[in-house]
Amino acid sequence: MHELSIAGAVVDTAIGHSGGRRVEVVTVRIGSLRMVVPDSLAFYFEIVARDSLCEGAELEIDQVPALLRCPVCVHEWDPAPPPLSSHGIEPGADPLLPYFRCPACESPRSDIVSGDELEVESIEVRDPEPAAATQAH
C-alpha cells in the first residue's frame, strides 16, 4: 500500500516542476529493490492526480533491474531468485528468496549498483494556449 504515498510524491513533484501548466506524461524510474507494484502505483496515481494539473496524465514506469557488486571480488549479479530449470529448482537455490551473498566468493557484503532508484525522470507539459493577438489600431 506504500504505492499510495509514492503516487502522492510523484504528483507533487510533477506539479512542482510544471510551471503551472497541465502535465501530460510523467516518467518514473523505479528499481526492483523498491518493491513497488507498477499496477498499484498507476491506480493510485490516477486517484491522487484527480482535480490537479496531473489529472489525465499518463504515467510511464521504467523498471530498473537489481544489480549488486561484491566489494571484495568485484563480481556483479542479479539477486533475484534463479529461474527454474526444465528439471525444477537449480541445486542449492531457494526459488523464492533473493540472493544477497556474493555467488562468486560468498562474501556477505554487497553494494547496490542499480535497482534502488525511485525518481521522477521527466515530465511532459502542455504548452500554454497562445494568447489572442491584439490588433493595432
pLDDT at 80: 83
pLDDT for the residue numbered 17: 96
DSSP codes joined into one string, the chain: -THHHHHHHHHHHHHHTTTTSPEEEEEEEEEGGG---HHHHHHHHHHHHTTSTTTTPEEEEEEE--EEE-TTT--EE--SPPPPBTTBSPTT--TTS---S-TTT--S--EEEES--EEEEEEEEPPPPPPPPPPP-
Q: What is the rounded distance in angstroms from the CA atom of residue 42 to the CA atom of residue 105?
A: 40
pLDDT of residue 137: 47
| Distance from C-alpha of 29 to C-alpha of 121, rounded to nearest angstrom | 6
- The verdict on pTM exceeding 0.75 is yes
Place of cell 510533477: 14
Q: State how far the alpha carbon of 49 is from the alpha carbons of 57, 60, 126, in Å.
A: 8, 14, 16
Q: What is the CA radius of gyration of the chain?
A: 22
Per-residue pLDDT of the chain (137 residues; tens, 9 = 90+): 689 999 999 999 999 999 999 999 999 999 999 999 999 999 999 999 999 999 999 999 999 999 999 999 999 999 886 665 545 555 555 556 677 889 999 999 999 999 999 999 999 998 876 665 444 44
pLDDT at 47: 97
